[in-house]
Structure 1
């Protein structure tokens, strides 16, 4: 068990703390918009199929451009890529809010703006995974990821209450407008991060891309003013300073003149060499398609038709967020010997929510079920994110994360596209009940895969031995997150 002091240790690093504050503001806004847009569409057309189209608009760019975002996050300043992404999303959500507030919004406009916002997410998410590694260091990754998950869950509790109240009283446009403003807050904190981030991994200095010093290498070279050159060890008495790989804000090693396709290919190859990661991707992909996507489409519809609308859906979301908060605390303090097995067993807590929504059960029962689903989300995602950050060389983290995100999300649009027609043909209840049953089936089937059981807290199943962090490989899971929406992450309701 990690102590409370150890759990909050990453917040002692100034630059991680700045990122954490910006992330918290953005997470508040991220929770406002999905609920607001969902009920804006339902009030506009009343069709769950139309809601699915709008949701797809936000997901498709993430699927198409995530690999590009990962490559850019490893080739250029991660901070810079994330700043551009925040500006894109600020504009998209700002225009959406104005259309809703003025009453001129049409379905096609919302779809187009969701496409633009999705482009920003595709750039932001892979770079964020790499930036957290640069700021927190490998020794405190699980604590850092858990703190970010706790932040998301805590802000979601307040944001969902605010969103439900705004939608029910003054309309969804105000909720989306607040979200747009949070992207500016996030960008302001990102702007304050140095090009050479500080991190807990101060002891780990970066070498120039082509350097390979032998055991008899001399002291680090210095510039005329006595400061170490980029790639040299930090001077004594300068605690916490990490020069980073290539001297860019959280960026990875430069790969010479390798083009974008070759850069993406390196990320795909890194994933292909890790069988446990492929198993994880398949599990998330199938459950996102057949379990989570129908829930995201049909959940607001059932709440609108049978539970009283936005306030009930907001209450369910708050329950989910409270469970996520508990999951963040659990993830920060609990280090299971077989983290992948533990995460999959906890994932079974997702099943009661769609099962009860299929009835539909009373709102208070759905809130309790949502808390269990929220807890599993965070435990599952912290394990996956931490595994990637520990097991993958730092210069490949954004690309590998983008492959994981792509694999997790690629089947989700199909689930969203089929949920509406399936509900029209068979009813929302049978579709949601089937989702609950498949949650259990897919998870138990994944637990039968041997590599799942070979993943331990300090050993890679694909290498069979302990490998030091300096080698950049061989360490395995702990997870959330991701930045939310977020690697291999299940979407949040």
Structure 2
């Protein structure tokens, strides 16, 4: 409890937490409004499924640039700049909705720019957290931010739905802009702890310098074998996770007896409850073997997916299995970010985090492609069975490698 109290007394962390909480609430408003507006405009589920692609492409193009900038310049100013840019984007989308503009390509462009500025924001936030929180509190700090995000994601849609019924839908986009403005206020108020990593008075970086910095970040992973394993095994499971969540869950809900939209909402709700329980546990857990914990998280996912193979005939099994799988999300994500902050050198933290996000985006896009191939070819139970077995195989190999690495490290210390 002492660490908890000292963390909340850290005014810089408190401001960062407030900034993220307000932005998270606004993001939920934006997501709800965008999906509902485009559904009414296009009447196409295919169109809605395309919305994630521009953000992924932006991530592939700009995450490494964001990582380099986060390591070289003030993460506070980078976060402020990214939020100010996102304000302009969401206001533009709100104006389009206000005037009834329905050209789908405009919204895809907006999603690309939001992905671009998120690619600059997230590495800066990771570096900032490492600068303002003592190393021994990083795991708990990451867990608090994660718990806040998941709590907002569960509770906000109900409130937003009631609010949206009494105001024009475009209002929600402007609410998101206001939330980013509040985030800017809190982030800019963080002073003293965050400063430029290098001399920003120097001339602008050249493409050659960017490539040199990226090479340095890759070199960090070549030297740090355990960190490389953490990044690999924390992301490899997303080859099947994305298709299970985005395709498997809707198909399973459709096949449940008397399944409908509410069944899918409940299924995802139970997954969200599992997320929150996992995040709450991680906020109080103490661990040093990050890869071991990550593999336990994938074990929860594997168990949940295998149990979902029985869920097409029994609602309660499907809901319980979704909750079990949901527990694994934070148990994977929180140790991954914490390990990057602890194990990467200060001058490479942003770049290593960016490489992690590139791996996540790559495997996520691969999973989406597999979903397009699988769609309708096999029963949904086979999808969860194959995915569960795949994750079980990952865990088996990962535990063997982690144990061997831990034993070698222990023997070298003993010698």
Task: State the TM-score, normalizing by the size of structure 2.
Answer: 0.83
Residue 59, structure 1, aligned to residue 56, structure 2: yes
User: 1:234-282 CA distances to partner (integer Å, 9 max, x unpaired)?
Assistant: xxxxxxxxxxxxxxx2543569988121111111111222233333333
**CA deviation after TM superposition for structure 1 residue 188, in Å:** 1.1
How many Å apart are 1:41 and its aligned residue? 4.4
Equivalence for 1:411: 363
Structure 2: stretches of 5+ with no match in the other structure = none
State the partner residue of 1:244: none
Map of 1:252 onto structure 2 = 197
Deviations 1:27-63 (A, max 9, x none): 2233444455445444444544333321111221012
Corresponding residue number in structure 1 for 2:278: 327
* Structure 1 pair 51–396 and aligned structure 2 pair: CA distance change class (3 A): same
Counterpart of 2:246 (choices 269, 272, 296) is 296
The whole-number CA distance in structure 1 between the counterparts of 2:220 and 2:410 is: 12
Which residue, 109, 113, 121 being the options, matches 1:112? 109
Aligned equivalents of 2:171 and 2:309: distance in 1?
28
- What is the CA–CA distance in structure 2 between the aligned matches of 1:170 and 1:358, rounded to whole Å? 43
- Contact 1:87-1:183 at 8 Å conserved across structures: yes
CA displacement, residues 390-441 of structure 1 (integer Å, 9 cap, x when unaligned): 1112121111111111112123223224424532x426x53x7425532442
Cα separation, partners in 2 of 1:445 and 1:157, compared to 1, 3 Å: closer
Deviation at 1:377, TM superposition (A): 1.1
Q: Residues 51, 343 of structure 1: CA spacing in aligned structure 2 closer, same or farther, 3 A cutoff? A: same
Aligned length: 405
Q: Tell me the SS of whatever aligns to 2:397.
A: coil
Structure 2 match to 1:212: none
SS of residue matched to 2:50: helix
Query: Could you tell me how far 1:71 is from its partner in structure 2?
Result: 0.2
CA positional deviation for 1:160:
2.9
How far apart, CA to CA, are the structure 1 residues paired with 2:66 and 2:408?
A: 27
Q: Secondary structure at the match of 1:130?
A: helix
| Correspondence for 1:178 | 175
Cα separation, partners in 2 of 1:175 and 1:297, compared to 1, 3 Å: farther
The Cα shift of 1:165 comes to 4.8
Q: Does 1:127 align with 2:124?
A: yes
- The more displaced of 85-94 and 127-136 is 85-94
1:361 to 1:14, Cα distance in 2 relative to 1, 3 A: farther
Distance in 2 (alpha carbons) for counterparts of 1:43 and 1:330: 40
Q: Is the CA contact (8 Å cut-off) linking 1:39 and 1:300 kept in structure 2? A: no
1:187 aligns with 2:187: no
The corresponding residue for 1:349 is 300
Q: Please show how residues 8-157 of structure 1 align to structure 2 within 5 Å.
A: 8-157=5-154
**1:71 and 1:260 in contact (8 A); partners too:** yes
Give the drift of 1:114.
Answer: 0.6
> How many Å separate the matches in 2 of 1:366 and 1:150?
24
Q: How does 1:354-373 map to 2 (within 5 A)?
A: 356=308, 366-373=318-325
Maintained 8 Å contact 1:131/1:250: no
* 1:134 positional shift: 0.4
Equivalent position SS for 1:444: helix
TM-score by length of 1: 0.71
Partner of 2:331: 379
Task: Give the distance between the partners of 1:174 and 1:13, measured in 2 at CA.
Answer: 35
Q: Secondary structure at the match of 1:411?
A: helix
Residue 354 of structure 2 is matched in structure 1 by 402
What are the ranges of 5 or more consecutive residues in structure 1 without an aligned counterpart? 198-248, 467-493
Render the CA deviation track for 1:61-109: whole Å, top value 9, x for unaligned.
Answer: 0121100000001111101111111122222233333434543223222
RMSD, matched Cα: 3.5
Change over 3 Å in CA distance of 1:143–1:112 after alignment to 2? same
Q: Which residue of 1 aligns with 2:218?
A: 268
CA distance, structure 1, for counterparts of residue 129 and residue 46 of structure 2: 37
Q: Cα distance 1:141–1:337, how it changes in 2: closer, same or farther (>3 A)?
A: closer
Render the CA deviation track for 1:184-243: whole Å, top value 9, x for unaligned: 22111001111x21xxxxxxxxxxxxxxxxxxxxxxxxxxxxxxxxxxxxxxxxxxxxxx
